[in-house]
Structure 1
Amino acid sequence: MKKKVVLAGGTGFIGKYFEEKFNDLGYEVKIISRKSPHITWDNNAGIIEAMENAEILINLAGKSVDCRYNTKNKEEILKSRTETTQILGNALLECENPPPLWVNSSTATIYRHAEDRPMSEERGEIGSGFSVEVAKEWEKSFFAFQLPKTRQTALRIAIVLGGNGGVMTPFKNLVKFGLGGVQGSGNQKFSWIHIEDLFSIILFLKEKEELSGVFNCSSPHPITNREFMDHLRKAMNKKVGLSSPKWMLEIGASLIRTETELILKSRWVIPERLEREGYKFKFNKIEAALQQILYGSN
């Protein structure tokens, strides 16, 4: 019988990458999504059938936070995370042979704005505000399930960098059009992870059957916004980049219907647990990550 993996919310930037990688490894990939031809969220029998005898369930579902935080969007951002998590947990309870590992997305944004020290799983301080509340509720809905046959891990994922989409597209455009200077003060920390490492972490957790709970998924070498933009300009051979002060970002964010928090929050997150357990990052420095993303070189 072919190995099987279930990707919930598997149609976005990360999901498409994971689907391709799992296909390359010989897995049958079942995708749960809002739209056909995939298994839809209201198809409980289909979800249970997909999960039966699968090796891993990976939940990436959730409305993009790249939007204005008005009341409607806030409700959708929260519901799209907690409700999908609850649907999956309930379906797992109905499975005869559920996957032995359930990996649920969370976010490194759960920690406070930090310019003074890095946040680890054990010593990190949970922040406040809308994004943090979403992250807390998301994890709460996940860990509310007591699953006798399934191990649960929540990944507090930093900003994911990869070649086909995600945040690299707007950042590359800024540099291309001469606007690749610092955003805001430039001192805010930019915690990041290469998409290939994110995939490898899931395979690592699959093999390490004694591990469960929360893991920070971020490179061990976070940088400042200023350093990130410097490296990106250098990698793209652009000498000059105009900076964007906070007031300009506020105007721009309003025009493109997003929030400045996505750029201005200082996320200083380190993957203490993963490193302690022996995970070795392929892309631990930003220079190598950008070279691979922009030019395909490892």
Structure 2
Amino acid sequence: MNILITGGSGLIGQALIQHLNADRIIVLTRNPEKTAKLLPDKVELIVSIDEVNFNELDVVVNLAGEAIVDKRWTNVQKDIICQSRWQITQSLVEKIQTALKPPHSFISGSAIGFYGRQGAVEIDESYQDIHDEFSHHICQKWEEIALQAESDDTRVCLIRTGIVLANNGGALQKMLPPFKLGLGGPIASGQQFMSWIHIDDMVAVLLAAIYQTSLSGAINATAPSPVCNQEFSETLSAVLGRPCMFKVPGFVLRILMGESADLILYGQNVLPTKLLNNHFKFQYPSLQIALKQLLVMS
């Protein structure tokens, strides 16, 4: 199997590559010297998709995109966030469309931000009452572009990723410092939902999307047991053996993060219905088990 990956140097991309058993793994990167230090020697690095023959590819995995919460959402930053996803996806779609023997699977990234803020309402892939805001705007167009690659020859999966928990980066690493000091606690009301997934299960979802032809369309990549922020904070504190007593007021987060604080102050209670209906087995279905594995056992 020949696989092209964009975003291969990111948290999810690196983890996926470690578990791929393919004849060729090709990674598109803007910085080959830096990326070469992060990935195994077996990976081929390219700086342009024109360097690869799409007739020879079996699968394209599209994980590229500017980090959403690392910087304040100025108009310029919003455009960078959008275009870093839309442009590469459009380029990949055009290559797939014009190939005489196109890849049989196009696995393209998205996020549960597609649904917008939803409170405690249970949401699965069939949910239609979308809250229109920036996160939805990003994901909706991202998915619309990706779906243009769909044909009798090419299957498209849209991976709506939740909060990925890993011990070497991502959201958990940003949360840990105050909790390790015993200064952690819920944010604002603490009632906003957090739909999370362990990095190993995230990789397993992508592998399922690659190999299971029964999967297509939108797929929620979240654990089957989302929790509210209060419960997340209490569980994280308990696993670390620290108190959970310092609440972070919402206005403080808004001062620090601006509009992007909405991603933390408002959540979604997302369920992986399509995966469960396809008999996907989560290795870490509960938050406590996931955090213990990441922070205590590893």
Same-fold status (TM-score > 0.5): yes
Within-5 A mapping of 1:24-63: 25=21, 27-37=23-33, 38-40=45-47, 43-46=48-51, 48-49=52-53, 51-63=54-66
> TM-score, normalised on structure 1?
0.90
Q: Per-residue displacement from partner, 1:191-220 (whole Å, max 9, x unpaired)?
A: 011111111112223332133111111111
Residue of structure 1 equivalent to 2:273: 272
Please tell me whether the aligned partners of residues 120 and 268 of structure 2 are also in contact (alpha carbons under 8 angstroms): no
Say which SS state the counterpart of residue 180 (structure 1) adopts: coil
Alpha carbons of structure 1 residues 252 and 71: separation in structure 2 relative to 1, 3 Å: closer
Residue 211 of structure 1 pairs with residue 215 of structure 2: yes
Letter in 1 for 2:291: L
Residue 249 of structure 1 pairs with residue 253 of structure 2: yes
Q: Percent identity?
A: 28
Q: Per-residue displacement from partner, 1:217-272 (whole Å, max 9, x unpaired)?
A: 11110000000011111111112441101112222325xxx821231121111011
| In 2, Cα distance between equivalents of 1:220 and 1:138 | 25
Alpha carbons of structure 1 residues 208 and 21: separation in structure 2 relative to 1, 3 Å: closer
Within-5 A mapping of 1:25-104: 25=21, 27-37=23-33, 38-40=45-47, 43-46=48-51, 48-49=52-53, 51-66=54-69, 67-104=71-108
Letter in 2 for 1:251: I
How far off is 1:180 after superposition?
A: 1.1
Q: Per-residue displacement from partner, 1:168-199 (whole Å, max 9, x unpaired)?
A: 11111120233310011100000011111111
How far off is 1:134 after superposition?
A: 0.9
Residue of structure 2 equivalent to 1:289: 290
Structure 1's unaligned 5+ residue stretches are: none
| In 2, Cα distance between equivalents of 1:205 and 1:134 | 22
Residue of structure 1 equivalent to 2:37: none
| In 2, Cα distance between equivalents of 1:143 and 1:105 | 11
Letter in 1 for 2:274: R
Residue 4 of structure 1 pairs with residue 2 of structure 2: yes
Q: Per-residue displacement from partner, 1:5-37 (whole Å, max 9, x unpaired)?
A: 221121111111112222xx3553211122235
Within-5 A mapping of 1:10-29: 10-22=8-20, 25=21, 27-29=23-25
Q: Which shifted more, 26-35 or 259-268?
A: 26-35
| In 1, Cα distance between equivalents of 2:117 and 2:194 | 11
Within-5 A mapping of 1:130-141: 130-141=134-145
| In 1, Cα distance between equivalents of 2:297 and 2:19 | 16
Please tell me whether the aligned partners of residues 180 and 243 of structure 1 are also in contact (alpha carbons under 8 angstroms): yes
Letter in 1 for 2:147: F
Residue of structure 1 equivalent to 2:148: 144
Please tell me whether the aligned partners of residues 158 and 217 of structure 1 are also in contact (alpha carbons under 8 angstroms): yes
Alpha carbons of structure 1 residues 104 and 261: separation in structure 2 relative to 1, 3 Å: same
How far off is 1:135 after superposition?
A: 0.9
Alpha carbons of structure 1 residues 267 and 27: separation in structure 2 relative to 1, 3 Å: farther
Q: What CA RMSD, in Å, does the superposition of the two structures yield over aligned residues?
A: 1.8
Structure 2's unaligned 5+ residue stretches are: 34-44
Please tell me whether the aligned partners of residues 175 and 241 of structure 1 are also in contact (alpha carbons under 8 angstroms): no
Say which SS state the counterpart of residue 133 (structure 1) adopts: helix
| In 2, Cα distance between equivalents of 1:215 and 1:26 | 23
Alpha carbons of structure 1 residues 146 and 170: separation in structure 2 relative to 1, 3 Å: closer
Q: Per-residue displacement from partner, 1:120-156 (whole Å, max 9, x unpaired)?
A: 1113522111111111111111112343421100011
Letter in 1 for 2:26: K
Say which SS state the counterpart of residue 203 (structure 1) adopts: helix
Letter in 1 for 2:31: K
The count of aligned residue pairs is 286
Residue from 150, 161, 181 that aligns with 1:157: 161
Please tell me whether the aligned partners of residues 154 and 213 of structure 1 are also in contact (alpha carbons under 8 angstroms): yes
Alpha carbons of structure 1 residues 253 and 178: separation in structure 2 relative to 1, 3 Å: farther
| In 2, Cα distance between equivalents of 1:146 and 1:190 | 31
Q: Per-residue displacement from partner, 1:26-58 (whole Å, max 9, x unpaired)?
A: 553211122235322xx2421x33x44333211
| In 2, Cα distance between equivalents of 1:233 and 1:275 | 29
| In 1, Cα distance between equivalents of 2:154 and 2:68 | 29
